[in-house]
């Protein structure tokens, strides 16, 4: 009996940190929500030239989609190689290690590299394309790791069945394993986008400007983005909180809706695909 009460006390103590985490979250949420009354919603669809933030929202989406278009295919193909083809040797370990290290490179260093390599060395200048490539570097490890996990979840019987039917190795992968892993792969890309959507340091030097007309027409033009704008508004222009609350909220909404959709997608397919439930 006393052992049980002791246990309960321990559990209660362990629960305190979690409550603190939740409280922190609620505190931040409440800080953000206090500003919601001051936001003029029509700003969302108004051009930046008229004081709105349409270009910044679309610009952020441009950056995200472009980065996903670069990092998605490369990441998925890399994951397929690592799961299906890679020999278990020193080389694979090096690749593995490189992916982990890439994930750990501070975003400011990625920004520095993006500036010297994409902007100056490749001559892209401060441009949308440079932003895509820089952000893609940040997304890549997330996409690879997520896709790898999704591919590993597919039961071996799928591949064996396809191979037994006379399919070539690639055929087996592309026709059975990849479709089965697709939801997980998509989730990993969305998570990657959520990770970089609020990123400021990486695009600080590489692709953003404070104001320009309209959206970039070619990838070689700079772009306006929410996170950068927020940074400049607060840090350099000293705009009062109320004036930038709209931007803060939109950015928060974009990032959280990306994360939430990834979370929902993941749990939905966990229910749909029985083999995931077995291992999940």
What's the rounded Cα separation, in Å, for the pair 88 and 121? 36
Footprint of other proteins on 134-173 (CB under 8 A): 137, 140-141, 144, 149, 151-152, 156, 169-170
What's the rounded Cα separation, in Å, for the pair 38 and 81? 51
Footprint of other proteins on 72-131 (CB under 8 A): 73-75, 77-78, 80-92, 94-110, 112-113, 115-117, 120-126
Quote the least distance from Cβ 69 to other proteins, whole Å: 14
| Contact status: 17 vs other proteins (CB under 8 A) | yes
Quote the least distance from Cβ 241 to other proteins, whole Å: 6
What's the rounded Cα separation, in Å, for the pair 225 and 234? 14
Quote the least distance from Cβ 42 to other proteins, whole Å: 17
Choice from 7, 175, 242, 272 touching other proteins (CB under 8 A): 7
Choice from 2, 16, 37, 166 touching other proteins (CB under 8 A): 16
| Dihedral of the alpha carbons of 206, 207, 212, 215, in degrees to the nearest 10 | 170
Cβ count within 10 A of residue 269: 18
Nearer Cβ to other proteins (43/99): 99
| Contact status: 227 vs other proteins (CB under 8 A) | yes
Choice from 176, 200, 206, 273 touching other proteins (CB under 8 A): 200
Quote the least distance from Cβ 41 to other proteins, whole Å: 20
What's the rounded Cα separation, in Å, for the pair 184 and 178? 10
Cα 59 to the chain's mean position, in Å?
A: 16
**Segments of 25-153 assigned E as strands:** none
Cα 213 to the chain's mean position, in Å?
A: 28
| Contact status: 265 vs other proteins (CB under 8 A) | no
């Amino acid at each position: 009996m006393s052992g049980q009460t002791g246990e309960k006390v321990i559990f209660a103590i362990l629960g305190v940190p979690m409550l603190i985490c939740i409280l922190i979250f609620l505190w931040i949420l409440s800080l953000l929500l206090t500003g919601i009354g001051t936001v003029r919603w029509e700003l969302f669809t108004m051009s930046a030239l008229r004081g709105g933030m349409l270009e910044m929202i679309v610009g952020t989406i441009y950056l995200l989609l472009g980065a996903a278009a670069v990092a998605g295919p490369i990441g998925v193909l890399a994951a397929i190689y690592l799961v299906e083809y890679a020999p278990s040797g020193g080389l694979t370990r090096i690749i593995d290690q490189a992916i982990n290290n890439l994930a750990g490179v501070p975003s400011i260093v990625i920004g520095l590299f993006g500036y010297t390599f994409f902007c100056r060395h490749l001559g892209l200048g401060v441009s949308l394309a440079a932003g895509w490539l820089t952000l893609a570097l940040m997304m890549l490890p997330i996409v690879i790791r997520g896709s790898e996990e999704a591919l590993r979840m597919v039961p071996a019987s799928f591949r064996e069945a396809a191979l037994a039917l006379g399919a070539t190795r690639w055929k087996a992968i592309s026709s059975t394993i990849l479709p089965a892993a697709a939801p997980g792969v998509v989730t990993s890309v969305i998570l990657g986008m959520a990770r970089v959507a609020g990123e400021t340091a990486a695009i600080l030097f590489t692709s953003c400007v404070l104001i320009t007309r309209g959206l970039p027409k070619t990838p070689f033009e700079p772009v306006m983005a929410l996170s950068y704008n927020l940074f400049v508004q607060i840090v350099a222009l000293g705009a009062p909180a109320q004036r930038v609350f709209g931007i803060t909220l939109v950015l928060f909404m974009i990032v959280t809706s990306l994360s939430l959709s990834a979370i929902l997608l993941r749990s939905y397919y966990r229910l749909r695909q029985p083999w995931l439930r077995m291992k999940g």
